[in-house]
């Protein structure tokens, strides 16, 4: 679906991406994993064209068709969830029924008339998830989607993303929670210090490296001190 070759985006602090190669395969759930400063958010910003490449290429097989869930959204606090989702649906020329569907799916329909200023952090994150589910674009990109979610809604998020895959969508999500990545992903793109540590089908990598868990693989390659 997407091929990246020699993808480079570097900042003054030397963070960013340093000539990486990657593939995002259609119909898969792909974990973009790694610690803080690994380059996960940089790659996402390049994919959604929030930033431009310094060097390299990113090629889309069938054109861009993206839905996006950022790590945080500053929703207008005076608006209700229903008003926000309705406005976004109108902009996307979607039916009103779709608003109810996504708000119900993230457990906010009964709170739809509350103003966002009354929402907890977890509720705002679920509203963020709801807006990303509105459309029908082929690729869903989520940047640290577990932020602010409790254990119940982390489990619900996993189910939602599996449903998206079943509907034929491709999902790319970034996370520093390697256990979450391992439980959900078909493929992994594991970054460290702006470089690709491992990439490919997750279970095949674990078998080839003779480890039981992704965290064990990460620790073996970068060490406990670096991970923290």
- Condensed to tens digits (0 to 9), the pLDDT of residues 64-120 reads 889 999 998 999 999 999 999 999 999 999 998 999 999 999 999 999 999 999 999
User: Among 34-38, 39-43, 55-59, which stretch is predicted with the lowest mean pLDDT?
Assistant: 34-38
Q: What tokens appear for 184 in the block?
A: 């959900």
Cα distances (Å, whole numbers) of residue 187 to 116, 125, 221: 35, 25, 18
Tokens at 182, concatenated: 């391992």
Biggest alpha carbon–alpha carbon distance for the chain: 53
Residue 70 lies in a domain: no
Which CATH number goes with the domain that contains 32? 3.40.50.300
Judge if 209 and 102 occupy the same domain: no
Other Cβ atoms less than 10 A from the Cβ of 38: the count is 23
Q: Are residues 16 and 92 in the same domain?
A: no
Please tell me which residue, 211 or 63, carries the higher pLDDT value: 211
Band of the pLDDT at 228, cuts 50, 70, 90? very low
Q: Which of 121, 136, 151 is the last residue of a domain?
A: 136
Q: Are 48 and 145 found together in one domain?
A: yes
Which residue range(s) make up the domain with 96?
75-136
Give the list of residues 6+ apart from residue 7 with CB closer than 8 angstroms, or none: 17, 19, 20, 21, 22, 43, 46, 53, 55, 56, 57, 58
């Amino acid at each position: 679906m997407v091929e990246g070759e020699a993808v480079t985006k570097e900042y003054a602090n030397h963070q960013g991406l340093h000539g990486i190669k990657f593939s995002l395969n259609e119909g898969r759930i792909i974990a973009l994993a790694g610690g803080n400063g690994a380059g996960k958010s940089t790659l996402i910003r390049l994919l959604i064209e929030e930033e431009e490449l310094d060097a390299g290429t990113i090629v889309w097989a069938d054109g861009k068709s993206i839905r996006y869930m950022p790590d945080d959204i500053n929703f207008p606090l005076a608006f209700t969830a229903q008003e926000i989702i309705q406005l976004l649906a109108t902009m996307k020329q979607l039916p009103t029924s779709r608003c109810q569907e996504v708000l119900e799916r993230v457990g906010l329909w009964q709170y739809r008339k509350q103003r966002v200023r009354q929402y907890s952090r977890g509720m705002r994150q679920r509203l963020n998830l709801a807006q990303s589910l509105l459309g029908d674009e082929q690729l869903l990109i989520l940047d640290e989607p577990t932020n602010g979610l409790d254990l119940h809604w982390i489990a619900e998020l996993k189910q939602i993303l599996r449903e998206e895959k079943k509907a034929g969508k491709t999902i790319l999500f970034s996370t520093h929670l390697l256990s979450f990545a391992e439980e959900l992903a078909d493929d992994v793109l594991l970054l460290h210090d702006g470089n690709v540590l491992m990439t490919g089908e997750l279970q095949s990598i674990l078998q080839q490296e003779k480890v039981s868990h992704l965290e064990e693989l990460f620790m073996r390659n970068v060490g406990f001190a670096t991970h923290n």
